[in-house]
Amino acid sequence: MRSLYLIRHAKSSWDHPGLRDFDRPLNSRGHRDAPQMALLLKNKGIRPNFIISSPAKRALTTAQYFAQTFGIAEENIAREEDIYEASTSDILRILRGLPDEAHTVFLFGHNPSLTDTVNHFSQEYISNIPTCGVAALVTDAEQWAELHQDNTRLMQCFFPKDVL
């Protein structure tokens, strides 16, 4: 059994309208929610053995908070440029290329691609994964390359407004 946690970046700041979208940092709520959501997962006994993130500042900062909570060095966060502005097919391609020794993966990214990817695997429609929301999926795939709708399902979601 493999576990996949799709995590939307924490709340970003709009204080600098001239800043490129890619470079937007977290706002104060984002800096508050990210470590709390990481701690929530840790307290549930969840531990990633692979972290991959969009290199966009808000996603990578969120991933860094989670890595710190789990005692994972920042340099062990894989950065994947294709997560930024990804389609569902881009996310699926990235997931199918994950290293097979990774059994619990945290992927940090953006909407709408994360919500669309969750809905690709879910029987229930999720209208929106909010900022710093976590969608937990499990798969029976022996290898990540075998990930598809028939062997992967949404188990649960953790949304900050519901759990913090």
CATH number at residue 89: 3.40.50.1240
* Segment 148-154 mean pLDDT: 97
Residue 134 contacts residue 157 (beta carbons within 8 Å): yes
**What gap in Å lies between CA 128 and CA 123, rounded to an integer?**
15
Residue 96 contacts residue 132 (beta carbons within 8 Å): no
Residue 18 lies in a domain: yes
Q: In total, how many domains does the chain have?
A: 1
Residue 108 contacts residue 59 (beta carbons within 8 Å): yes
pLDDT band (50, 70, 90) for residue 22: very high
Residue 57 lies in a domain: yes
Report percent pLDDT > 90 for the chain. Answer: 99
User: What pTM does this model have?
Assistant: 0.97
Residue range 69-120, pLDDT digits in tens = 999 999 999 999 999 999 999 999 999 999 999 999 999 999 999 999 999 9
